Amino acid sequence: MRTPRVEFDLGKIRANSKILCERLRSVGIDVKGVTKGVGGDSQIAAAMLDGGVTGLADARLSNVLKLRTNGINCPIALIRSPMHDQLAELVASCNISYHSDLTTLDLLGQAARDANRCHSVMLMVEAGDGRDGLPIERLEHFVAAVLNTPGLTLNGVGANFSCMQAVPPTSAALMVLSNAIERVESCLRTKIACISGGNSTSLPLALAHVNLGRVNELRLGEAILLGIEPLSGRVLPGLFDDAFVLFAEVIESSRKTRDAPLSNEKLNTEQSLTNLNQAVLAVGTQDTDIHGLKPPTTMSVLGASSDHLVLNTGGTQLAIESEVPFRMNYSAMSRLMNSPEVIKHAVN
Ligand X SMILES: *Cc1c(COP(=O)(O)O)cnc(C)c1O
Site string for ligand X, 96-135 (x = CB under 6 A): ----------------------------------------
The residues, ordered by sequence, that sit 6+ positions from 116 with a Cβ below 8 Å of its Cβ are: none
Bond into 340 cis (ω within 30): no
Rounded to 10 degrees, the C-alpha dihedral 166/169/170/174 comes to 160
**Binding residues among 222-281 for ligand X as defined by CB under 6 A:** 222-223, 230
Whole-number minimum distance, CB 72 to ligand X, in Å? 18
- The DSSP bridge pattern shows strands 30-34 and 217-220 to be parallel
List b or e across 214-246, with b for residues whose CB sees 16 or more CB atoms inside 10 angstroms: bbbbbbbbbbbbbbbbbeeeeebeebbbebbbb
Whole-number minimum distance, CB 243 to ligand X, in Å? 14
Whole-number minimum distance, CB 306 to ligand X, in Å? 27
Nearer to ligand X, 58 or 287 (CB): 58
C-alpha radius of gyration, the chain, whole number: 23
Whole-number minimum distance, CB 33 to ligand X, in Å? 9
Give yes or no for a contact between 209 and 26, defined as CB atoms under 8 angstroms apart.
no
Residue 300's DSSP bridge partners are 312
Nearer to ligand X, 57 or 280 (CB): 57
Identify the residue among 19, 61, 79, 293 touching ligand X (CB under 6 A): 79
Identify the residue among 3, 63, 100, 200 touching ligand X (CB under 6 A): 200
Identify the residue among 5, 99, 219, 335 touching ligand X (CB under 6 A): 219
Site string for ligand X, 21-50 (x = CB under 6 A): -------------x-xx-------------
Segment interacting with ligand X, rule: CB under 6 A, options 3-11, 43-51, 217-225, 287-295: 217-225
Closest CB to ligand X: residue number = 221
Give the footprint of ligand X on this chain (CB under 6 A): 34, 36-37, 59, 79, 160, 199-200, 219-223, 230
